[in-house]
């Protein structure tokens, strides 16, 4: 059972504000105005709407990398939303994925080393840069002794974390799991690297129109930052304490392409989609809504569209919220999961922004213009990452 939701994103500092912005079709993408971006080929990004230090306080924030800060913020919201479940510490686990972990701390402290020498490097450097940092700080904060895990599978990390949370509960290793993803890597190096790979949109003059999933004029994704976490509970545990349930995590599928370091493949994606349905005990015709990975790259969007059509069909209503948030990389899959959960709970699917001219090769029912309302019982989310990582999750309405 999904009993808690927490997030901080380019659209808002919590789930409610992020969800309201998604339904309103607002964009969280804007220009990077710092001097360090002046000479970069890409000068736009999805930055956090609320700075972490405003929530955590500056003293606590300075000892944590930015991705650890936002993971902690999202975890507190999710835990409170779940009603602060009381469980044995050994039955509480944490799974928080990330794409690159504390890269901002790594690069910042390397600058300190080169400019001022070893004695000026922060003693918190290693705890801040390690990819397992977000899972570690959240497990310490909540006293979770049932395991603190960190899937690092590029842009599939957040979804893989939720899938691992499902496994932990099904295997009997945990009653409650805090799961999801966190990413904060808006930096000259990451922007330059993605730009050199021609993965980013170069619409510097129109940032809010830059992310265009499935549109014929799409030219790359927009880098974003944020964290999104859920609280998962064993069904009978949640029922015994009278927990409010947002939705049910019914199944998950994880595969790898073994194909190309940056390019996805329909075979691996189709297998992940079908595996998720088998895990959930559902058929393709049961799926009413798909939250697409759809980053806005020319090749990636088309590959996914073909995969959805082959594995599920063209009947589900499809949305792509990266058109508003940008690509949160390691947190993208978990934010997509929250969108799908809320779509089921509230009976409304956010519309895809900036889709003015649907690619004629995309044979899907894409929600555009305004949110689509109606009762939903089953939704599926996709997350695909560099390295050929594929993760699909299936959510159903609360019992």
pLDDT tens figures, 14-55:
999 999 999 999 999 999 999 999 999 999 999 999 999 999
Tokens (6 digits) for 238: 């949640």
What is the DSSP secondary structure assignment for residue 133, as one 8-state letter?
Answer: H
Tokens (6 digits) for 27: 């964009």
CATH code for the domain in which residue 47 is found: 3.40.47.10
Q: How confident is the model at residue 399 (pLDDT cuts 50, 70, 90)?
A: confident
In the predicted model, what is the mean pLDDT of residues 74-82?
98
User: Is the backbone of residue 14 left (phi > 0), alpha (psi -120 to 50) or beta?
Assistant: beta
246, 265, 293, 389: the catalytic one is: 293
Q: Which one, of 159, 293, 158, lies nearest residue 221 by Cα? A: 293
What is the DSSP secondary structure assignment for residue 100, as one 8-state letter?
Answer: S
Phi, psi dihedrals of residue 224, rounded to the nearest 5°: -130, 175
155, 185, 187, 289: the catalytic one is: 155
Inform me whether the pLDDT recorded for 115 exceeds 90: yes
pLDDT tens figures, 276-326:
999 999 999 999 999 999 999 999 999 999 999 999 999 999 999 999 999
pLDDT at 203: 98
Other C-beta atoms within 10 Å of 286: how many? 17
187 flagged as catalytic: no
Q: How confident is the model at residue 5 (pLDDT cuts 50, 70, 90)?
A: very high
Residues 6+ apart with CB under 8 A from 283: 277
265 flagged as catalytic: no
Taking the model in full, what pTM does it have?
0.98
Measured distance CA(370)–CA(398) in Å, rounded: 25
Measured distance CA(195)–CA(245) in Å, rounded: 42
How many distinct structural domains can be found in the chain?
1
Measured distance CA(359)–CA(215) in Å, rounded: 5
pLDDT tens figures, 178-235:
999 999 999 999 999 999 999 999 999 999 999 999 999 999 999 999 999 999 999 9
Other C-beta atoms within 10 Å of 189: how many? 12
Rounded alpha-carbon distances, angstroms, from residue 383 to 172, 205, 330: 26, 29, 10
Q: Are β-strands 317-319 and 289-291 bridged in parallel, bridged antiparallel, or unpaired?
A: parallel
Q: Which one, of 89, 66, 88, lies nearest residue 141 by Cα? A: 89
Compute the residue count for the chain.
Answer: 399
327 flagged as catalytic: yes
Give residue 33's domain range. 2-397
Rounded alpha-carbon distances, angstroms, from residue 18 to 13, 24, 280, 321, 338: 7, 10, 28, 11, 10
187, 327, 329, 389: the catalytic one is: 327
Half-sphere exposure for 255 (CA within 13 Å, toward CB): 19
Inform me whether the pLDDT recorded for 337 exceeds 90: yes
What three-state secondary structure class fits 108? helix
Average pLDDT, the chain: 97
């Amino acid at each position: 059972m999904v009993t808690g939701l927490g997030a901080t994103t380019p659209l808002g500092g919590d789930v409610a504000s992020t969800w309201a912005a998604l339904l309103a079709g607002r964009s969280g993408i804007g220009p990077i105005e710092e001097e360090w971006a002046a000479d970069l080929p890409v000068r736009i990004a999805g930055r956090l709407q609320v700075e972490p230090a405003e929530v955590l306080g500056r003293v606590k924030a300075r000892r944590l990398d930015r991705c650890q800060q936002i993971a902690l913020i999202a975890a507190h919201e999710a835990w409170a939303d779940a009603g602060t479940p009381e469980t044995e510490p050994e039955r509480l686990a944490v799974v928080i994925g990330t794409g690159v972990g504390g890269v901002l701390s790594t690069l910042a402290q390397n600058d300190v080393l080169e400019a001022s020498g070893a004695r000026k490097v922060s003693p918190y450097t290693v705890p801040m840069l390690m990819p397992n940092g977000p899972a570690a700080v959240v497990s310490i904060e909540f006293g979770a002794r049932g395991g603190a895990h960190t899937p690092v599978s590029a842009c599939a990390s957040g979804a893989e974390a939720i899938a691992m949370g499902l496994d932990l509960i099904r295997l009997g290793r945990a009653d409650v799991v805090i799961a999801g993803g966190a990413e904060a890597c808006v930096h000259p190096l990451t922007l330059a690297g993605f730009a050199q790979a021609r993965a980013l949109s170069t619409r510097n003059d129109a940032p809010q129109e830059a992310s265009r999933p499935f549109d014929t004029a799409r030219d790359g994704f927009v880098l974003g930052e944020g964290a999104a976490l859920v609280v998962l509970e064993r069904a009978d545990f949640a029922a015994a304490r009278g927990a409010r349930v947002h939705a049910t995590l019914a199944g998950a599928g994880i595969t790898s392409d073994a194909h190309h370091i940056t390019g996805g493949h329909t075979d691996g994606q189709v297998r992940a989609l079908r595996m998720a349905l088998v895990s959930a005990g559902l058929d393709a015709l049961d799926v009413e809504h798909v939250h697409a990975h759809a980053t806005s790259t020319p090749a990636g969007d088309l590959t996914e569209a073909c995969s959805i059509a082959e594995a599920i069909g063209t009947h589900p209503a499809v949305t792509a919220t990266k058109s508003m948030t940008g690509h949160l990389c390691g947190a993208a899959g978990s934010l997509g999961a929250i969108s799908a959960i809320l779509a089921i709970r509230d009976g409304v699917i956010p519309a895809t922004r900036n889709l003015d001219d649907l690619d004629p090769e995309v044979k899907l029912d894409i929600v555009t213009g305004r949110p689509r309302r109606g009762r939903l019982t089953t939704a599926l989310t996709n997350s695909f990452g560099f390295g050929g990582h594929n993760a699909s999750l299936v959510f159903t309405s609360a019992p």
